[in-house]
Every structure is written in structure tokens, then in C-alpha cells.
Amino acid sequence: MTAAACYTIYTNAAEMDSDLHMAEMPPAHPFDFDAFRADGDDKLREECGVFGVTGVDEAANFTALGLHALQHRGQEAGGIVSHEPGSGFHSARRFGYVRDNFTSAKLMETLPGPLAIGHVRYSTAGSKGQTQIRDVQPFFGEFSMGGAAIAHNGNITNADALRRELIERGSIFQSSSDSECIIHLMARSLQRTVPERMKDALRRVEGAFSIVAMTRTKLIGVRDRFGVRPLVLGRLNEGWALSSETCGLDIIGAEFVREINPGEMIVIEHDKLTSHYPFEKVKPRFCIFEHVYFSRPDSILGGESVYETRRQIGVELAREAPVDADLVCPVPDSGTPAALGFASESGIPYGMGIVRNQYVGRTFIEPTEQIRNMGVRLKLNVNRALIKGKRVILVDDSVVRGTTSRKIKEMILDAGAKEVHFRIASPPTAWPCFYGVDTPNRDKLLAASMTEDEMRAHLEVDSLKFISLDGLYRAVGEAAGRDPDAPQYCDACFSGEYPVAPHDMLEKGFELKAAE
């Protein structure tokens, strides 16, 4: 028997065996997320959120709640795998929001047991807008020593090379996800336990990964050695929980214990927690954009409130780029804390000049092209009485393609504003991310081909200023700013300096930043 035959990945009801029970799922057809994104929103998208819990009754229900709190990290699909002694593994995967799928009592009854993990996702940049149900995590593998499920946040930067090698050796891939490489590598390991096989597999993997995994009795959490993506540990009565962010712990009433350290693997079995460090130690490079945009403002990162950090970004921005104006207005909702900090530091009044429609959802992919082309007006509306006759400072978290920024500017001018000034709470995004963020190709990034002044002219605003990289570092607590010789964070999307070489993309012709 070959190593490839030692396990199975289950992707639909026809493939399951007696040890994996899958809830009835919709047809496995592609879901067109190009239409889902047709509203013109050009924010960067964090591709995944992971959650797991053990040692509690109805663990899947707690997992669904955790995933609901992590919905901002992935809104296209979600999945949960649970285990119940005596009946084995159970799985359900669905397209759409957690609230629309995993709140059904009928569905949740199919996910029994005291141990469960879950995942929410966006499709990756390479998926060309087509997501199959088989790509939805967690993935499940049946090994000679028992089954295991895995949910992954991040991107494997040598996945193409690993996939070619594994296929040549007989592995049969059933999804387009780079995360499936981990299951295949585990199958080929000669180690005797799932955690040891996982260590073997992850030593072959390059890039970024925060992983929540489970066996019949164990809950496992792992971060890559750079700690690019977040993962935290919580205590829930007599049980334990793992989450991409602390807000996932809050919703289930779990007590935050600590962050999983970069390069650390923890294994929890029968209330016993053990910690391992299976990877070569390096200086951590946590993603600085988690502070700017990805994480929820009520989460804690590195012991600091995300909300307070974003407010301080606004303070730094006001110091670096003052402007004479009448009103500081956030681009909701991500620009709100920075706008409050800008207004406080500048002394210019703060006002909700733009109001978000909280009830816009996927229903708007269905109507006519005319409705879809209304773009950001479906999501945002200008408070005309507040804006009219004012010189307005718009504070936003980032400028990616610039399409949304131009539309918002037009809406503000149509409402009677005298001037429009953009202040951006991150440096110019000039480089794509290869570590778990859905980023456009570099030629689609406005800052990759334009100077700040050229971007101002392109957006047709009265002024445009970004916070400096040093200013951003000061806002997140690095008083001396960024260390150019040894950056404290991963800031590749701003600096072009990648802590892990994106080998797959280099093979496809991507060019790294030239040495200065």
C-alpha cells in the first residue's frame, strides 16, 4: 500500500465512510464570488478565521458562535467538524454566513460531541472567483492511527512545488486549497502520532500558517515560526478554546489565557495541555495590517487593544499630515477609530458624515446589472445636512485600487462639500501579500505605479496623505519607529520586504523589490 492510500479526504456524501458523518449539503457547484464582489468594494480581504473548542458539551455550538465572531475574517463559506466518542467524526460545510447556516437546530444536532473545530473563509486570489464546496475547510483525513481534521489560516508560499512533488508520488488532490498539502504530507510521514506527523509536515511548509486541528481526543494549535497570523488560547470552564482573535473567546464566555507563541504547537488532551517548539527559531514578524484593518477593534493583539491602537494611528496621522478643515469624517466602519484619534489630536470636530447600511448582504448579487453598478451607494450614504458647505477630512484605513475612494469622494461632493481631503491610516499599499490575504496583482495596486501626488490627482481630491511606516510603527507601540535592518512586523504590503520568499509566485514571474 502506498502512502497516498493510507488516508482519505472526504468532500461529499458519496465519499464518506462509517467514521465520518456529513450533514446533507447543497450541490457541489462553483459559487460565483466575482458577482459577490461586484459592488466595487476594493478592501483587502483576510482569507480565513479558525476556531476550536474541547472539553465542553455541544462543542460545535460553541464553535459556531466563535466563527460568528470571526465572520469578518471570511464571509464566503464556513465549516465545522466535531467528534463524539462512539459515533466518530461529523462534518458540515456551507456557502455563506455562519448565521444563515450554523444556527439551525436541525443542522447542529448532526455535529455532536465535546470536541470541534471550525473555519470561515474567503476564496483566495488564485481561485478566479470560483469556490467549490470541496475547498471549504476544515479538511478531514483518515490515517492509519485514526482520523484528523485541520483548519488553516494563512498561505503556503511553496504549495505549488509541494503539490507537484506529492502528485508525482501518487497523491490525489481533491481541492484547490494549498492547505490540503498539509494533509498529504502528514499521510507520508513515518511518525506514529498525528501531532508528530503534523510537525513533520509543517517543517516542509513555507509561508504563514495558524492552524487549529483535532483528532478523536486532541485539540491542536500551531503558529508558523514568524507568527504572521494570529492565534489565541482561552479557558472555558473545564475546557479549552483556540481562536484567531480574542473576540471569538469573548462571545462564548471564555477567559483569554495567552497568545500561541510564534513557532509553538500546543496539544490539549483530556484537560492536559503540552507545548512544543518544533521549528527553527527566528525573530517574529506578525502582520502589522492586523492592527490596521483585519482584526476586530474589540480584540486584543500583543496585549494591546486593537481599538486603542487604531485611535493612536489617527493621532500620529494628524501630527504628520495636518490640514485646515471643518469636519473629520470616518469611512465606516474601519476608519472610525483612526478618525476619532485624528479629530482629538487636530481639534477639528468629528462627525458621522457617512452612514453605513448594515443590512446589505449577498441578496444584491441577484438583481439587475443596474442595481449591482450602484456599488458603494448600496452600502454607504452621505449625511447631507452635516456635509454641506464643509471642508471634509475623510479618514480611511487604506487605498488599494482607488475605485471605492473615488466613488466616496464623488458622493461627498454631490452632497455639497466644499473640499475633500483624504487621510489614510496605513502607508501606501504597493505590494501584494502572499501570507493569507486576498490582494490584487501588483499592477492593480494604485500605489505600485503612482506617487502620492499622482494618486491625489487620480482621485481628484484636494489633498491626500498616508501615515508613514515609521508613524504606523510608533502607533503600534514601537517608539523608535521601524528598525530598517530588522523590522519588528511583517509589512511587506507596504515595504516590499518579504520575510519568507514567495517561491511559487517567483516561479510565475513575480519580481521582488530591487535591493537599494
CA angle, residues 350, 352, 354, in degrees to nearest 5: 135
In this predicted structure, the answer to whether residue 515 has a pLDDT above a threshold of 80 is no
Quote the CA–CA distance of 287 and 271 in Å, as a whole number: 31
Q: Are residues 72 and 37 in the same domain?
A: yes
Q: Are residues 144 and 273 in the same domain?
A: yes
Residue 276 lies in a domain: yes
Which of 229, 250, 285 is a domain's end point? 285
How buried is 126 (Cβ within 10 angstroms: 0-12 exposed, 13-18 middle, 19+ buried)?
middle
452 DSSP 8-state letter: H
Confidence class of residue 19 from pLDDT cuts 50, 70 and 90? very low
Q: Are residues 91 and 165 in the same domain?
A: yes
Residue 259 lies in a domain: yes
Lowest mean pLDDT among 11-15, 418-422, 458-462: 11-15
Residue 46 lies in a domain: yes
- Secondary structure class of 55 (helix, strand, coil): coil
Residue 387 lies in a domain: yes
Q: What pLDDT score was predicted for residue 126?
A: 40
6, 48, 329, 433: the active-site residue: 48
pLDDT above 70 covers a percentage of the chain that reads 86
In this predicted structure, the answer to whether residue 8 has a pLDDT above a threshold of 50 is no
Q: What pLDDT score was predicted for residue 514?
A: 86
Residue 171 lies in a domain: yes
- pLDDT tens digits for range 394-405: 999 999 999 899
Would you tell me how many other CB atoms lie within 10 Å of the CB of residue 355?
Answer: 13
Q: Are residues 277 and 199 in the same domain?
A: yes
Asked if 56 and 237 count as a contact pair (C-beta separation under 8 A), the reply is yes
- pLDDT tens digits for range 247-264: 999 999 999 999 999 999
Task: Reply yes or no on whether 490 is catalytic.
Answer: no
Q: Which CATH number characterizes residue 341's domain?
A: 3.40.50.2020
The three grid cell numbers given for residue 42, joined into one nine-digit string: 476594493
In this predicted structure, the answer to whether residue 34 has a pLDDT above a threshold of 50 is no
**How many folded domains does the chain comprise?**
2
Q: Are residues 246 and 363 in the same domain?
A: no
Q: Which residue spans within 369-418 are E strands per DSSP?
A: 380-382, 391-396
Residue 488 lies in a domain: no
Determine the average pLDDT of the residues in 36-52.
Answer: 68
- pLDDT tens digits for range 62-118: 999 999 999 999 999 999 999 999 999 999 999 999 999 999 999 999 999 999 999
Q: What pLDDT score was predicted for residue 456?
A: 97
Residue 62 lies in a domain: yes
Q: What pLDDT score was predicted for residue 360?
A: 59
Residue 301 lies in a domain: no
In this predicted structure, the answer to whether residue 32 has a pLDDT above a threshold of 70 is no
Confidence class of residue 27 from pLDDT cuts 50, 70 and 90? very low
- pLDDT tens digits for range 191-203: 999 999 999 999 9
Phi, psi of 379 (to 5 degrees): -105, -30
Q: Are residues 391 and 466 in the same domain?
A: yes
220 Cα distance to chain centroid: 20
CA angle, residues 460, 378, 380, in degrees to nearest 5: 55
Q: Are residues 280 and 342 in the same domain?
A: no
The three grid cell numbers given for residue 150, joined into one nine-digit string: 485541520
Q: Are residues 318 and 271 in the same domain?
A: no
In this predicted structure, the answer to whether residue 380 has a pLDDT above a threshold of 50 is yes
Q: Which CATH number characterizes residue 240's domain?
A: 3.60.20.10
Determine the average pLDDT of the residues in 7-18.
Answer: 38
- pLDDT tens digits for range 114-165: 999 999 998 654 444 456 889 999 999 988 888 999 999 999 999 999 999 9
Q: Are residues 340 and 223 in the same domain?
A: no
Q: What pLDDT score was predicted for residue 441?
A: 87
Which of 235, 270, 285 is a domain's end point? 285
Which of 476, 495, 511 is a domain's end point? 476
Q: Are residues 318 and 364 in the same domain?
A: yes
Q: Are residues 207 and 319 in the same domain?
A: no
Domain containing residue 419: 311-476
Determine the average pLDDT of the residues in 27-46.
Answer: 48
Determine the average pLDDT of the residues in 208-234.
Answer: 97
Q: Are residues 210 and 91 in the same domain?
A: yes
Q: What pLDDT score was predicted for residue 9?
A: 43
